[in-house]
């Protein structure tokens, strides 16, 4: 839209190409009939012929649909950190998530820890922390591939009796690539063979120098089995969150990402989503990938129905037309009709891409058969 060929310009001006080329030469622009000139040049030529070029401003559906204004720093409020747990196989990621989850069992809900969704919040020192249940590497790969940078802090679990292993290194690389701050949980401290000093020494090789050695990496010895060190880990996550000054604007339309989603027989598409900015309200229209819909039921991580969800809150919602993919970005929008149009457009594009790769595959098959 910002340039036009000389031939096209001539035909729009109802002039011969050579007339237009002459005018261009008069302006000091040498261009053949098939070459392009920019908008400003075209406008000057048009003027010479007593015409006017109307600049086509192309507004995408996205631009019309989404509220793309930056938040004024003055309106930002503190938000809980979003944390993912990662590390080598069997080093205790699941056990640590379980141990953390247990810390939220209050007198009122003794015995029953209800966790309905793929993310949960715990409180430490009066402040909330959001944990994603998604395996760390998935949270980083599939979600980041879609542009969702969900996590603020990565808890790197290293078994004290095993030390740094291949997937530990992979986790470090993922977290670093995402710009996520790493906090190290040296796990299995209850084991007699536990050797936390060796773990720390190994960490320094990956530019994670423990604080007590003059670096800035927090290392917390824990045991998921006994619960030792877990409150300390949470406290340190909160300290780190404070340093990072995590902020969001609760007073705008919600946006965030899909953590996981499934099709429920009775409820239809059910998605666990994380609000990253703004506040999601029941009844809001949202678009997530190619899925659209009004939030019908919204539940918190305890399965309780809620009306609103602010920044860093994980919720489960129903009401979408289809099951979105983990990592899809979602946004609440004012215009449902336009949102459906965008979803259709995205679906069509996806089909086109799939068709393209299908053709490629068949072509490859053809060659491999020869
Ligand atoms: P994957 O999901 O398979 O990668 O493993 P994971 O990292 O989630 O480890 P998981 O929590 O399943 O723990 C692996 C094994 O280590 C289990 O047998 C746990 O009981 C054990 N384990 C985890 N934490 C501790 C701990 O603090 N102390 C001891 N002694 N054992 C632990
Ligand atoms: Mg596990």
pLDDT value at 94 more than 70: yes
* Listed range (146-150, 168-172, 210-214) with the worst mean pLDDT: 146-150
Identify the residue with better confidence: 123 or 199: 199
pLDDT band at 363 (very low <50, low <70, confident <90, very high): low
Nearest CA to 298 among 313, 312, 311, 277? 313
Backbone phi, then psi, for 334, in 5-degree steps? -90, -25
What residues have CB less than 8 Å from 351, skipping those under 6 apart? none
pLDDT value at 107 more than 80: no
Pocket lined around ligand 1, Cβ cut-off 6 Å: 87, 89-95, 187-188, 190-191, 223-225
Cβ atoms 273, 257 nearer than 8 A: yes
* Listed range (62-76, 158-172, 287-301, 356-370) with the worst mean pLDDT: 356-370
CA distance 121 to 311: 12
Identify the residue with better confidence: 197 or 65: 197
136 annotated among ligand-binding-site residues: yes
- The torsion angle over the Cα atoms of residues 125, 96, 233 and 181, rounded to 10 degrees, is -110
Write out pLDDT tens, residues 29-69. 999 999 999 888 988 999 999 887 776 666 788 888 887 77
Say what the pTM is: 0.79
pLDDT value at 149 more than 70: yes
Indicate the burial class of 347 (C-beta count within 10 angstroms; 0-12, 13-18, 19 or more): middle
Write out pLDDT tens, residues 200-215. 999 999 999 999 999 9
For the residues 312-322, what does the mean pLDDT come to?
A: 96
For the residues 64-75, what does the mean pLDDT come to?
A: 85
Please state the atom number of ligand 1 nearest to the C-alpha of residue 89. 4
| Atom 23 of ligand 1: nearest residue by CA position | 92
Summary mean pLDDT of the chain:
88
Q: How far is the CA of 137 from the centre of ligand 2 (A)?
A: 12
CA distance 262 to 302: 18
In 267-352, where do the E strands start and end? 268-277, 280-281, 285-288, 291-294, 298-299, 308-309, 314-318, 329-333
| Atom 5 of ligand 1: nearest residue by CA position | 90
Q: How far is the CA of 93 from the centre of ligand 1 (A)?
A: 7
CA distance 229 to 209: 20
Query: How confident is the model at residue 57, as a pLDDT?
Result: 63
pLDDT band at 366 (very low <50, low <70, confident <90, very high): low
- Tokens 């670093």 belong to which residue? 176
- Tokens 């070029």 belong to which residue? 53
> Which pair of tokens denotes residue 190?
């209850």
Instruction: Among the bound ligands, name the one nearest to the CA of residue 88.
Output: 1
Query: How confident is the model at residue 2, as a pLDDT?
Result: 73
Instruction: Among the bound ligands, name the one nearest to the CA of residue 137.
Output: 1
To the nearest whole percent, how much of the chain has pLDDT over 90? 65
Q: How far is the CA of 94 from the centre of ligand 1 (A)?
A: 7
Complex ipTM, two decimals?
0.98
89 annotated among ligand-binding-site residues: yes
Mutate to test the pocket of ligand 1, among 87, 89, 90, 194 (most ligand atoms within 8 A of CB): 90
């Amino acid at each position: 839209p910002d340039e036009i060929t000389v031939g096209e310009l001539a035909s729009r001006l109802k002039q011969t190409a050579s007339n237009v080329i002459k005018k261009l030469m008069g302006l000091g622009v040498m261009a053949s009939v098939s070459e392009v000139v920019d908008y400003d040049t075209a406008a000057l030529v048009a003027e010479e012929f007593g015409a006017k070029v109307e600049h086509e401003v192309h507004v995408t559906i996205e631009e019309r649909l989404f509220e793309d204004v930056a938040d004024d720093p003055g309106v930002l409020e503190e938000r809980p950190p979003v944390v993912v747990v990662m590390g080598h196989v069997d080093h205790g990621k699941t056990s640590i998530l379980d141990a953390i989850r247990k810390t939220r069992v209050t007198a009122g809900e003794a015995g029953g820890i209800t966790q309905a969704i793929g993310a949960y919040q715990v409180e430490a020192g009066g402040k909330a922390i959001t944990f994603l249940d998604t395996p760390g590497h998935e949270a980083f790969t599939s979600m980041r591939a879609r542009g969702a940078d969900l996590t603020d802090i990565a808890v790197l679990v290293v078994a004290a009796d095993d030390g740094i292993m291949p997937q530990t290194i992979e986790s470090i690389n993922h977290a670093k690539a995402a710009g996520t701050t790493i906090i190290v949980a040296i796990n299995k401290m209850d084991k007699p063979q536990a050797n936390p000093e060796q773990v720390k020494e190994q960490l320094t090789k990956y530019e994670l120098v423990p604080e007590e050695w003059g670096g800035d990496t927090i290392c917390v010895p824990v045991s998921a089995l006994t619960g030792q060190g877990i409150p300390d880990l949470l406290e340190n996550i909160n300290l780190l969150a404070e340093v990072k000054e995590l902020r969001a604007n609760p007073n705008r339309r919600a946006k965030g990402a899909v953590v996981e989603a499934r099709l429920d027989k009775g409820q239809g598409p059910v998605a666990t989503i994380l609000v990253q900015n703004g506040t999601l309200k029941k009844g809001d229209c949202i678009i997530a990938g190619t899925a659209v819909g009004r939030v019908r039921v919204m539940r918190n991580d305890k399965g309780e129905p809620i009306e609103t969800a602010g920044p860093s809150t994980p919720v489960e919602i129903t009401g979408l037309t289809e099951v979105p993919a983990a990592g899809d970005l979602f946004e609440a929008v004012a215009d449902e009709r336009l949102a459906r149009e965008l979803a259709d457009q995205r679906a069509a594009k996806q089909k086109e891409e799939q068709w393209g790769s299908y053709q490629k595959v068949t072509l490859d098959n053809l060659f491999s058969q020869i």
